[in-house]
Structure 1
């Protein structure tokens, strides 16, 4: 799990989190903690940059959906950007793309939220 990271930077009104590593059943608890802490910071607009995600299975998808739900409950907006093509297919096949807003680039997401 050494290659896992969630690096954050504040840009305007957005908190950008660059996520790296494999999101699966082994790493689920780690990512769950990271996203929980991220949302607890109180950022109003959170963009998860998933360009560094090398693999994501149903457990990883579950973590993303859980983070989205937690963000909504706290009054924040959580969106995804730079989603790798295999994960994009999973989002489409499961219908998760109906809940999770997906942007092609971080800049596109920032522009929507006044980054």
Structure 2
């Protein structure tokens, strides 16, 4: 499991916990070109069974969405659970513009995602 990463860079904070066998990653701050490598590295360490809590995201660009899509596809290919929770359309507008909000497994809260994934 990845360790918590503090405030460097100051625009992104990533923390993780477990809900059963699933890693829950809480994302706070910007998901853009300045934080993409940090986000990608954290995702790669987390494994494929992931719930991303995006309720603390202040902005997401298409590159970050691409990382999420790749992780979701890899999880699906391995038959591992994957979900997004707390997605706000105003701060993650790129999901709606691309139409991916209709395809990705989006849930309001962790409990709802866990029930659906089990």
Q: TM-score range by the shorter chain?
A: 0.7 to 0.9
Uncovered stretches (5+) of structure 2, i.e. residues with no partner: 1-8
Deviation of residue 49 (structure 1)?
Answer: 0.5
- Is 2:23 the counterpart of 1:19? no
Structure with more contact order per residue of length (Cα contacts < 8 Å, sep ≥ 6): 1
- Alignment partner of 1:65 is 2:69: yes
CA distance in 1, matches of 2:73, 2:46: 13
Which residue is equivalent to 1:5? 13
Residue 56 (1) aligns with residue 64 (2): no
**Count of residues in Structure 1 that have an aligned counterpart in Structure 2:** 110
Equivalent in the alignment of 1:31:
39
TM-aligned CA deviation for residue 8 of structure 1: 1.4
Q: Is residue 73 of structure 2 the alignment partner of residue 81 of structure 1? A: no
| Secondary structure of 2:90 counterpart | helix
Any stretches of 5+ residues in structure 1 without a counterpart?
none
Structure 1 distance, partners of 2:104, 2:91, is 12
SS at match of 1:22: strand
Alpha-carbon distance in structure 1 between the residues aligned to 2:77 and 2:37 = 20
Is the Cα contact below 8 Å between 2:54 and 2:87 reproduced in 1? Answer: yes
In structure 2, relative to structure 1, the CA distance for the partners of 1:89 and 1:4 (3 Å cut) is: closer
RMSD: 1.9
TM-score, normalisation: structure 2:
0.79
